[in-house]
Amino acid sequence: MCRAEPAKAKIIKDCLDKYYSWLGQALNADKSNILFSKSTPRFDRRLIKDTLGFKDMGSKAIYLGNSLVLGRKKSKEFFRLKEKWKSNLKTSGYLALKAWKDICKPKDLGGLGFRRFKDMNLSLLAKIGWKLANGEDCLWTQTLRVKYLQNSTFFGYKEKKGAPSVWQGLTKVRKILRKGSCYHLGDGSSIDIWQDP
């Protein structure tokens, strides 16, 4: 991923050429595509495609039967995927011998110890949320703080419509974080008694 600028495309081309010379392999241009954002000017698109020798895959790009680019209505895209999966199950005659919730139980409780994606996603979002709430200074928290929090705290932030799905997920895990967090009181100057847990 990079900015859609002809100069950046030249740098990528140079890197790829160097990589090929090291390995003694060549890129298959017929199997190589590039995805541009809607805001990339047509002239820049053409220059970049000519520089790299890639085709434009467009916004309707599909890989292994799934959309590569999700629009605003992600639930519609995932519903289509779910329906496709269900129809494949019906035609293949697949029969699960154990329910997924049972497989996800710990091994000592008779499961296989698998983790549910929803739980994993919540835990990873909660980890980033905790770093934001604690004021930890790393690249992710700096970026999110500047872009979304500005003059607000993580717990005091008011949700806005149209925010990216990652930020919406982070604001939803605040409930989880509130349940398990508390303050060690010092002089109390950094605590917002109305918003902080």
Q: Can you give the residue ranges of every domain in the chain?
A: 1-66+75-95, 117-180
| pLDDT for res 125 | 92
Cα separation of the two ends of the chain: 39
| pLDDT for res 147 | 85
Is the pLDDT score of 35 beyond 70?
Answer: yes
Is the pLDDT score of 57 beyond 70?
Answer: yes
Across the chain, what does the average pLDDT equal?
81
Half-sphere exposure of 72 (CA within 13 A, CB side): 3
Quick one: average pLDDT of 107-111?
A: 90
Q: What is the pLDDT of residues 65-84, one digit of tens each?
A: 667 776 667 777 777 777 77
Question: Got the DSSP string for 174-191?
Answer: HHHHHHH-----SSSTT-
Q: What is the pLDDT of residues 140-194, one digit of tens each?
A: 888 888 888 888 888 888 887 878 888 888 888 988 888 877 766 767 666 666 6
pTM of the model: 0.49
Q: Is 62 exposed, middle or buried (0-12, 13-18, 19+ CB in 10 A)?
A: exposed
Is the pLDDT score of 44 beyond 80?
Answer: yes
